Amino acid sequence: MASMAQAIRMALHYGEDKLGVTDIFGEDVGAPLGGVFTCTQGLKTTWNTPLDERGIIGAAIGLALAGQKPVAEIQFCDYIFNTIDLLKLAGNNNWCSNGQYPLDMVVMTPVGAGIHGSVYHSHSFDAWATRLAGWKIVMPSTPRDAYGLLLSAIQDPNPVMFMAPKALLRIKGEELIPGEPEDDKELKERIDAPVGEARKNWVPNWPALEFSNIEIGKANVVREGEAATVVTYGRMVHVAKAVAEKLSAEGYGQIEVLDLRTLYPYDWSAISSSVLKTGRVVFLNEDTEITNFGEHLLRRTIEEHYYNLRAKPRVLAGAHIPGVGLAPPLEEASIPQPKDLEEILKEMISELT
């Protein structure tokens, strides 16, 4: 099975081959590196930029204004913060022009902790991103979803931010991407650039991929249950699934895990149905907890389902501290851990109503 990095690469290949992508660019995105996570190796429209994030986002906006179809990368979301003015502009361009200038552009950026990345390679951008009106925001939890969501992002005529949980980029999936060879080794030989001199003249041998997208705005029930709901996305989907399995084995009943896949426009209907079914919900993500995206979902849950709840709803998120520390105990203290989720779920399920 493909890793998420390979899945992204295949979606970008499909995008430039079949969907009209004209430019895939960013820092080290082009040859020889093909991206620090190898997500852009072997593609034909890649090029390298100066190390200038504002220039990168500006270039994407301008290319879209000129009717091109750009995919720009910010190497780590930790470095996207100095582009916030331009991200705001990309989101308001169509609205301010009363519909004259929609911007058909994608920005990809790796997010989150889990690779011992210390202060500037571990941050999240979830809540900031969802405040950017005019953008669609997606985050996959599997290579299959990464492929499908990126195809949708490319196809969408609006600014779409594709956030890839960096700790998952090298993890292989459990589901075949339509068109992907079944043998891992074959895939690697076909689409991974060789190391050293051999890279110079290498060209990939792309598999015959299919357009099999994941619709923006649709959540995925990755585990069904009645005892409680965990609403999450990205890397935390796997934490939630593992905790749900453990608690089920311990007799706490079945816990539903909802993978949002799209942060905006989020699938309220899916959240709502699950909350009405279980009456217990925790919103889980690794961004810092004050003014967290989960807090918005919690607010809607309270406003619309207060009388349907069987236990107080919760947000489990990262600690509100200035950085994710490098030493493992510091990173663990910053990011939600399985034991934290386990504790909350046990408490919720045990709460008598």
Partner 1 sequence: MSEISMATLEKPASIPAQPFKDKNFSIYYFKQMLRIRALEERLIKMMRSGDGYFWIGGPGEEAFSVALGAQVHKGHGVDYDFLHLHYRSNGIALTMGSPMIDFVRQMKNTANDPFSGGRNFVAHICKKEWNIVPVTSPIETQFACAIGTGIAQRRAHQQNKTKGVTVVVGGDAGTAEGEFASCLIWASRPGFELPMLIITTNNGYGISTPGSTQHGEKHIADRAKAFGIEAAVVDGNQPEKVWAAVQTAFDHIRETSRPYFLEVKVSRLHGHSSSSGAARVTEEVCCIEQFEKKLVKNKWITESEIEDFKKQAYAEAQAAHEEVKNEAYPDASTAHDHTFAGGARGGVPGRDF
Catalytic residues: 121
Q: State yes or no: residue 193 binds partner 1 (CB under 8 A).
A: no
Buried (b) or exposed (e) across 194-231, using 16+ Cβ within 10 A? eeeeeeeeeebebbebeeebbebbebbebbebebbbbb
String of contacts with partner 1 for each residue 95-114, x by CB under 8 A: xxxxxxxx-x----------
Which is closer to partner 1, CB of 190 or CB of 218? 218
The contacts of residue 87 (CB under 8 Å, 6+ apart) are: 57, 80, 107, 132, 135
Return the amino acid letter for 93: N
d(CA 89, CA 92): 5
* Contact by Cβ (8 Å): 64, 104: yes
CA atoms of 353 and 62, how far apart (whole Å): 56
Token pair of 219 as six digits: 């959540």
User: Minimum Å distance from CB 97 to partner 1?
Assistant: 4
Distances (CA, A) of 82 to 58, 122, 135, 256, 287: 12, 16, 17, 38, 18
> What's the full length of the chain, in residues?
353
Number of residues this chain uses to bind partner 1 (CB under 8 A): 48
- Asked if 86 is part of the footprint of partner 1 (rule: CB under 8 A), the reply reads yes
Does residue number 329 form part of the binding site for partner 1 (CB under 8 A)? no
CB of 88 vs partner 1, minimal distance in Å: 9
Q: Is 155 in the site for partner 1 (CB under 8 A)?
A: no
Shortest separation between residue 60's beta carbon and partner 1, angstroms: 6
70 interacts with partner 1 by CB under 8 A: yes
Position 265 contacts partner 1 (CB under 8 A): yes
User: Can you tell me which of 84, 94, 221, 248 binds partner 1, judged by CB under 8 A?
Assistant: 94
Position among 2, 57, 108, 111 found at the interface with partner 1 (CB under 8 A) = 57
Cα(139)–Cα(127) distance, rounded to whole angstroms?
12
Residue 85: exposure state from Cβ atoms within 10 A (0-12, 13-18, ≥19): exposed
Which range in 94-102, 115-123, 161-169, 178-186 contacts partner 1 by CB under 8 A? 94-102
Q: How far apart are CA 237 and CA 165, in angstroms?
A: 11
162 near partner 1 (CB under 8 A) = no
Question: Rounded to whole angstroms, how far apart are CA atoms 328 and 30?
Answer: 33
* Shortest separation between residue 56's beta carbon and partner 1, angstroms: 9
User: From the CB of 87, what's the least distance to partner 1, in Å?
Assistant: 11
Among 2, 64, 187, 309, binds partner 1 (CB under 8 A): 64
CB nearer partner 1, residue 260 or residue 341: 260
State which of residues 1, 36, 61, 237 lies at the interface with partner 1 (CB under 8 A): 61
Q: Give the integer Cα–Cα distance in Å for 315 and 156.
A: 31
**118 binding partner 1? (CB under 8 A):** no
| CA diameter of the chain | 67
Nearer to partner 1, 267 or 287 (CB): 267
CB nearer to partner 1: pick between 277 and 346: 277
Residue 334 host element (H or E): helix 328-334
Give the one residue of 248, 272, 273, 337 binding partner 1; rule: CB under 8 A. 272
**65 near partner 1 (CB under 8 A):** yes
Give the separation between CA 118 and CA 102, rounded to whole angstroms. 37
Residues making contact with partner 1 (CB under 8 A): 23, 49-50, 52, 54-55, 57-68, 70, 82, 85-86, 89, 93-102, 104, 133-134, 136, 157-158, 217, 264-269, 272, 300
